[in-house]
Structure 1
């Protein structure tokens, strides 16, 4: 599905089902140097179980045009404009990593439009090491290797993931290289990491959220360790937390656990 958002063509994966405004909508937001495909297993389930799914490639990423967001706030503005473009008044937001901060900021800006907020692999502050920031800017292939070591606790997927013989780290590397190459004008890798690193509004944003909140955290996550979400959890005392057996890329390492957590939360 293609929408025009802020004057730019935006691609949204809908889980293989046509978009129907009469159904409830859930928006899936990807992280740095990813695209909609990181949610492929979860989005297809929701699309085939009564939900509208909108899983966009963020602006300047892969199949979406426009300027890649330079801040969490800018990306949150895009999400709300996306809802306008789709004709959706209210939606659930699910975000991973950078996308979790974007979902949080969007829910704070327009609390009346967000029915549920799920933060997957989140942290605040989401600081990025200086060496990783520098490599993302000047040696992105090296940074891609670093990130994939930190993001995975497994070399191969469990049976419920992408199938026998799948190499999780290799697949993730290939995706990140493709996303980086999709925008020759801007280094979306460094820009995304810099946006994570500089975001200072997490606790203030959480105080503005009015909907139910879910934290989905990976027990073996080395990029955003579970303890790094504590500042947000303290600001959301009524939130639910689900710990899954996996690393930062838990959507592929623990696909069923992530799906079941989201399914039970959005019921």
Structure 2
């Protein structure tokens, strides 16, 4: 299997555990935080590889717009650099279209897909929300932006169960954490469209929607599941922020799906460079 030569520097990467390969594809502006409660449990059974997109973690920000094919190539190259040449993929939000494209470009590497709180393309509502998000970010008022994002990604029940002080603390934490490169990722969200790729995905696929997701609503996940032959569809409680709201439910779903499809551990065999 040929390792893609992207002509770019490596993505900064978190690697944990041992066993069959498991590649994590994070959301826009996310990174490790998108999978924080999952990495420990998953790394007990898998070699978990979590690359950071440009502008996240220690990966430098790009000067040119992000490209879906290039991002998919760089994720595969990063996994190969970590010694993982075949893998299952668990993707979240923007990571879902990235991973669909990856599975189509590198079918020999991907064993299975889990696509959580994702979308194949932005519908009119999502495009409007992202446009407001980008406009608020351009104003430079990080507190205002964090309040908008908190309301958008948090499930209604979760948000209303918190005190004013807890919500204020959460928005202040988010204001500090939002990366400058987030606009680069939101720009890609507005442009992405992998609907034509869905029918070409030829691996076991699980699509996970969050019932109270106001950003990538369950409608988006149902569109993905309907387009991928044989895909399974499940819903978990909570809003878009699955790692914070629905960690136990998501871990149960992941375990039930990944255990029978993980297969034998040949993911760390040396790459010969041959197709």
Q: TM-score, length-normalised on structure 1?
A: 0.81
* Contact 1:119/1:216 (<8 A) preserved: yes
Equivalent position to 1:263, from 252, 255, 260: 255
User: CA shift at 1:197, angstroms?
Assistant: 1.1
* Contact 1:31/1:98 (<8 A) preserved: yes
Q: Find the counterpart in structure 1 of residue 153 from structure 2.
A: 151
Q: Distance in 2 between matches of 1:94 and 1:169?
A: 31
**Higher RCO, Cα 8 Å, sep 6+:** 2
Q: Find the counterpart in structure 2 of residue 57 from structure 1.
A: 52
Residues 172, 239 of structure 1: CA spacing in aligned structure 2 closer, same or farther, 3 A cutoff? farther
Matches within 5 A, 1:56-205: 56-65=51-60, 67=62, 70-126=66-122, 127-129=126-128, 130-139=131-140, 141=142, 142-153=144-155, 154-155=158-159, 167=166, 170-171=169-170, 174-175=173-174, 177-180=176-179, 187-200=180-193, 202-205=194-197
Q: Distance in 2 between matches of 1:147 and 1:210?
A: 35
Q: Distance in 2 between matches of 1:254 and 1:83?
A: 27
Equivalent position to 2:41, from 40, 45, 50: 45
User: CA shift at 1:157, angstroms?
Assistant: 9.1
Residues 261, 92 of structure 1: CA spacing in aligned structure 2 closer, same or farther, 3 A cutoff? same
Residues 260, 196 of structure 1: CA spacing in aligned structure 2 closer, same or farther, 3 A cutoff? same
User: CA shift at 1:32, angstroms?
Assistant: 1.2
Q: Unmatched 5+ residue regions in structure 1?
A: 159-165, 181-186
Q: Secondary structure of 1:155's match?
A: helix
Q: Secondary structure of 1:217's match?
A: strand
Q: Distance in 1 between matches of 2:47 and 2:42?
A: 8
Residues 173, 199 of structure 1: CA spacing in aligned structure 2 closer, same or farther, 3 A cutoff? farther
Q: Give the stretch that moved more between structures: 170-179 or 233-242.
A: 170-179
Q: Unmatched 5+ residue regions in structure 2?
A: 1-5, 260-275
* Contact 1:137/1:189 (<8 A) preserved: no
Q: Find the counterpart in structure 1 of residue 266 from structure 2.
A: none
* Contact 2:208/2:221 (<8 A) preserved: no
Q: Give the stretch that moved more between structures: 212-221 or 135-144.
A: 135-144
Matches within 5 A, 1:14-33: 14-15=15-16, 17=17, 20=18, 23-33=19-29
User: CA shift at 1:260, angstroms?
Assistant: 0.9
Which structure's CA Rg is the greater one? 2
Q: TM-score, length-normalised on structure 2?
A: 0.79
Once the two structures are superposed, residues 179-204 of structure 1 have per-residue CA deviations (whole angstroms, 9 ceiling, x without a partner) of 41xxxxxx41211111011112x112
Number of aligned residue pairs: 243
* Contact 2:11/2:52 (<8 A) preserved: yes
Q: Distance in 1 between matches of 2:67 and 2:168?
A: 27
